[in-house]
Amino acid sequence: MFVFLSVAFVAAQEIENLPSRQPSEFVDARPQYCWRNGLTLENITQSTPANETIIVIARLGDRDSKPNLSKRRLQNVRTYWTQYLGEQIRRDRKTVILAEGEPTSGFGQIEFYVRGKLVELVKVSPNSDFNAADCYGGIDGELPCAEDWQKLFYPCRDRVEKQKQNRKVVPKKKRSRQ
């Protein structure tokens, strides 16, 4: 009995670490650096039980014009939680619900909801992918997008998709018999 109550108390405490927020709190917010986006996702990860659903809504800003930009941003969030994190803390895909919302004025944004309440809102620079994992790719002589894990995320994922499109299956020529 004590174990059950302890677990329930810990789960309740985790949710309380993510206070409900109001959109008005983010009116003057600006896009953050990659490492800050990573901290935001980590905070949500650590504060939300693995079986709890997180709803993520991406909204384009008025200067966003890249095709499929909301889908790319959402894909990067889902990939971070379901593939990038260590196996012990990865989320099941079913617990991450993605949606595209109506455009907003100013910067694009990504909203995070737990139990139907807004817990975080991140602004995104115009026409930029949401980046939270590969904050230092390509430094110290390393090629950007060289590692397999980097290829899970946009913009590196573009290269992988382009390579797949460019691969042509060339049928073997029949040898003529003489």
Convert the pLDDT of each residue in 10-51 to its tens digit.
444 455 567 788 777 888 899 999 999 999 999 999 999 999
What's the pLDDT score for residue 26? 84
What whole-number percentage of the chain has pLDDT above 90?
Answer: 60
- Measure the CA angle with vertex 107, ends 105 and 113; round to 5°: 90
Band (pLDDT 50/70/90 cuts) for residue 96 is very high
What's the pLDDT score for residue 65? 96
User: Looking up tokens 């309740």, which residue turns up?
Assistant: 12
For residue 82, give both structure tokens: 């379901």
What's the pLDDT score for residue 175? 62
Average pLDDT over residues 44-63: 96
Q: Average model confidence (pLDDT) for the chain?
A: 85
Mind spelling out the 3-state secondary structure of the chain? Answer: CHHHHHHHHHHHHHHHCCCCCCHHHHCCCCCCCHHHHHHHHHHHHHHCCCCCCEEEEEECCCCCCCCCHHHHHHHHHHHHHHHHCCCCCCCCHHHEEEEECCCCCCCEEEEEEECCEEEEEEEECCCCCCCCCCCCCCCCCCCCCCCCCHHHCCCHHHHHHHHHHHCCCCCCCCCCCC
What's the pLDDT score for residue 10? 44
What's the pLDDT score for residue 135? 79
Q: Which is more confident, 101 or 169?
A: 101
Tell whether the model's pLDDT for residue 6 goes beyond 70.
no
Average pLDDT over residues 2-6: 41
Q: Where are the domains of the chain?
A: 18-135+142-163
What's the pLDDT score for residue 106? 96
What's the pLDDT score for residue 22? 79
* Phi (first) and psi of residue 4, to 5 degrees: -60, -45
C-alpha to C-alpha distance for 37 and 132, rounded to whole angstroms: 5
Band (pLDDT 50/70/90 cuts) for residue 70 is very high
Burial label, 87 (beta-carbon count in 10 A; 0-12, 13-18, 19+): exposed
What's the pLDDT score for residue 144? 78
